[in-house]
Structure 1
Amino acid sequence: MIERRPVLDFVGHLVLLCGAALVAFPLYIAFVASTQSAEQAAQAPLSLIPGTQLIHNYVQVFVSGSSGHVDVGSIGRMMWVSLVSALGIAFGKIAISMLSAFALVYFRFRGRSVVFWLIFLTLMLPIEVRITPTYQVVSDLGMLNSYAGLTIPLIASATATFLFRQFFLTVPEELAEAARIDGAGPMRFFKDVLWPLSRTNLVALFVIMFIYGWNQYLWPLLATTDQSMYPIGVGIKRLISGGDSAVEWNVVMATLILAMLPPGLVVVFMQKWFVKGLVDSDK
């Protein structure tokens, strides 16, 4: 039996509260700055009391996105571009990874292990390493400044393929044999058996891949030259590109708060499934 010790419980909760405060304090500072005028946000030290410009600042960045020094276009438009790109990357990675893992596990063909290890070796080739040939291919195909150019080069995922492969290997072979006896083809078995069993894994990977796609900066910086196709990461960088004397930190902080909302909401609403997908399965 585990004995309850009030002192240890108090110390444990105190440590957790201190950790939460350390994480939340920078977010609070960003929120306070986003509610102040440009002059108030530039003062040192920054006031910890929220200002009166909250609605004005957020409406300004969401609708126009411009400050007195830099015009980056509508932040609302940039968030839409980031949302479409993140969803395209997440769904694309999941679809390709599930189908490739399904083929590697349930189809017998020569060189299957070699194909798997070739896919696995691509983990050592991130986008930063292959960015020059990738950019050349995307440019030659005329996909610059397009949603296809922002998503297609990033949808292949060796990590997701590996995770789905390991999960499919744990599915009892008897299920596949029963499906074959019932006359179900490969795609019917995939749709009616493997897909329902993979729901928690799908949600966990969706959360990870959505945040990965939302936070992209380097590839969109190269693949977009049209302001209307800038994602939110590029927009934030342009807001602070004028130097400290030209940056309106209230506008920047309001943009940062808005940029954190979609991935934060995804994590909050899918937290239960996300944790379950990492530690459990529905088999």
Structure 2
Amino acid sequence: MSKKASKSEKVRKAIIENYKKAEKSFVSQLNFTVPNHPPTIGGFREEIWKQLFEQIVPKKYVIEQSVFLIDSNENVSNEVDLAIFDEMYTPYIFRKGRIKFIPIEAVAAVVQCKSQNVEIDEDIKNIKKWCDSINNLNTSGDSITRLAQLMSVGPAKYQTGTRPIKILCSLQKPSKKLTKSFDIYIIANKKPPRIKIKIPHEDDWNLANWHGQLNMCGNSKTELKYPEVMYSRKLSDYQVIDEKGQLVSLLTLNLQLNQLLMLINNPMFFPHKAYADMFNRKGNGKEDKNDDGNTN
């Protein structure tokens, strides 16, 4: 082995070891306890999860705690522990201090953080309600945007209606009743101190399926023509295995999540008029007539 190859091998192994150490550090912090004040430790753990995502998510995205998502049909989500979203091209609907309403068109991923074991029926019911509040949000195609050489009216061909990647972060394996409620499950096991990743569709969805789910209103069987590699490649192909045959979880999560983010890549063209129409509605969200008889 040449000196150059030997040095490259050392760097490769060092990066893998650094990921393992970072993983153990995150797990250790997530398992800190404050028995006399659960809300304090809950907020602390959310901050640790946020730091984990900040370590692997590109800077083009912003990660905010405790926000609400909204669409132009007046649907509002339950409180989202962590939202990963575009802040460069999409405006906030409202922002003042810690109060933030973010349009669904901007959101790439949402994260629910749970400190306790998710096995109790009431907790499962509440999490499903949370997921439903996200699923009920709809992007609008009522946009007008300048592109390089033309004006685009309506959504882009490959991004007609996005939905965010749904992630559940917990300290213990969640109930099987939640198996398909989220796209990614991240579990911080105390013993041994390791992060486990579970992706229900890791082996059976290819990248074309994922693109259809995240960008085409959930149509995983879209008729769009993709490069051939997207039909053959799956998220399981992005797993990193160390020399002992163990999954390098944090590095794997980095590659898998960022591949999904690259399938979304840009936020939806923002539908300014749709939100103007929403705020101009009166009564129960129904169209009302002006004095001249025209509808709003």
Classify the TM-score, shorter chain.
under 0.3
- Structure of greater Rg: 1
Structure-1-length-normalised TM-score: 0.26
Greater relative CO (CA pairs within 8 A, separation 6+)? 1
Compare the two structures and name the one with the higher strand fraction.
2
- Hey, which of these two has a bigger chunk of helix by percent? 1
